[in-house]
Structure formats: structure tokens, C-alpha cells
Amino acid sequence: MPALPIVRYPDPRLNTMAAPVEVFNASLRALAADLADTMREAPAIGITAPHVGVLQRLVLLRLTPEETPHAYVNPSIVWASDERLRHTEGSVSLPGVTEEVERHARVRISYRDLDGNEQTEDADGFRAVCHQHEIDQL
């Protein structure tokens, strides 16, 4: 699959709320595969469909090079711990720009997989931070 061009700030699509995915088909799986290639080429540990100009609620995360990218469709945070932590974050749409951000230390997310099946995931530490960052990008 080809890597897609990344939308750069201040493109207005980055400030537009992404629509929920309603159709789970081969086109969605192809977009996820293209996002995975784009994320590898960037390189990045997370990417959203809006980062490539597609205004749909699709996130891919791959926290280590050995990890297979995991797709999260229509993700939302359904629980967050009171405990917080600070972490330096960046974005593929703002290369070279980072900022220290405070996030919840643990979260539970609800999402659908690429086949439309409902899923939940508990995450803590760095993974929790990444989920929050990417969901904020939608």
C-alpha cells in the first residue's frame, strides 16, 4: 500500500471534527493499511485519518517498531483515572514541534475494530497518553 501525504498545520482540515465511521468494508481496511505505511514512513507511533486529510474517526497506534499497527475505529475514552502524568508530545502534522502535556495516567477506551466489532481496551502509562493524544486529534 502507498504512504499518503500528511496534512500539515495550518490546514483547516486539522481543525475539523472527524465523522464517525459507519461503513466497515474493504475501503476502510485499505485506508488503515495506507495509514500504517504512512506511519512507518513518517516515522510515527500514531496517526489518524485526518492527518492524511480523511475526516473519519480512525486511529492507528504502533508504540514500538516490533509492534503491529493496531486500528481503532470511532475510539472514545469511557473512563480516566484521577492520577495524571506529564509527557512530551508531538504530531506528524507539526514536524519538529513538541510540547509537554498533562494526561490521565490510565484510561479505558471503547472502539470498533476494522470489522465493526465493539471492543474495549484498558491502557496505562505511555499507551494511555498515546490514546488520549490521538483521540484529541479527531
Q: Which residues are catalytic?
A: 134
Distances (CA, A) of 55 to 48, 73, 109: 9, 12, 20
| Closest CA relative to residue 135, chosen from 53, 48, 67 | 48
Output the CA–CA distances (angstroms, integers) from residue 83 to 86, 114, 116, in the order listed: 11, 31, 32
